[in-house]
Amino acid sequence: MKYMNTMLSALLLSALALPVAAQAADKAKMVIQVSQNDAAVWNLALNNAKNIQKDVGKDNVSLEIVAYGPGINMLTAESEVGNRINEAIDSGVQVMACQNTMRNQKLKPEDMNPKVGYVASGVVEILQRQQQGYAYLRP
C-alpha cells in the first residue's frame, strides 16, 4: 500500500509538473509579418527584431520575419535593406519569402537575396507559427 501511494504521488507530481516543465522549456518566439511595399516598414521590422535580440538575448528568442504579398520586395536582390537583412540572418533571425507571392509576381530564386529562406505560403506560415506558440507582430 505504501508502495502504491508512493507511486501515485510520483505519478501525480509528474502529471502536474509536466505542463510547467514544458512551459519553462519554451523560449520566446515571435513571427513578424511584412506585407507592405514600404521601406519604412521594412526598417521598423528589422529594428524590432534587433531590439528584441538585444533586450532578451539572441539565444533566448526565436524570431522569424515572413514577407509576402506587397512585402515581398523587401527580400529581392535589389532591396534597399539587403545589408540589414543579411545582418539579421547572421544574428539568427529567420527571414522567409513567400513562394506563392513569388509565383504571382514572377520572381525567381535568382531574383531574391541569396540568404533568405522560403515558405510555400507566407500567410499559412504566420498562421502555423502562432498555433505553435509564436507571438505575432505587424510592425
Residues in touch with its own copies (CB under 8 A): 4, 7-8, 11-12, 14-16, 18-19, 26, 28-30, 33, 35, 44, 47-48, 51-52, 55-56, 61, 69-70, 100, 120-121, 123-124, 126-128, 130-131, 133, 135-139
Select from 128, 117, 10, 5 the least CA-distant residue to 65. 117
Q: Please state the closest distance from residue 94 (CB atom) to its own copies, in A.
A: 15
Select from 106, 113, 55 the least CA-distant residue to 79. 113
The β-bridge relationship of strands 28-34 and 61-67 is parallel
The smaller minimum CB distance to its own copies, of residues 26 and 110, is found at 26
C-alpha cell at 118: 522560403
Q: Please state the closest distance from residue 106 (CB atom) to its own copies, in A.
A: 17
The smaller minimum CB distance to its own copies, of residues 23 and 78, is found at 23
Q: Please state the closest distance from residue 114 (CB atom) to its own copies, in A.
A: 25
Q: Please state the closest distance from residue 28 (CB atom) to its own copies, in A.
A: 6
Q: How far apart are CA 84 and CA 42, in angstroms?
A: 10
* 61 C-beta neighbours (distance < 10 Å), count: 18
Helix, strand and coil content of the chain, in percent to the nearest 5, comes to: 60, 20, 25
The smaller minimum CB distance to its own copies, of residues 55 and 80, is found at 55
The smaller minimum CB distance to its own copies, of residues 34 and 116, is found at 34
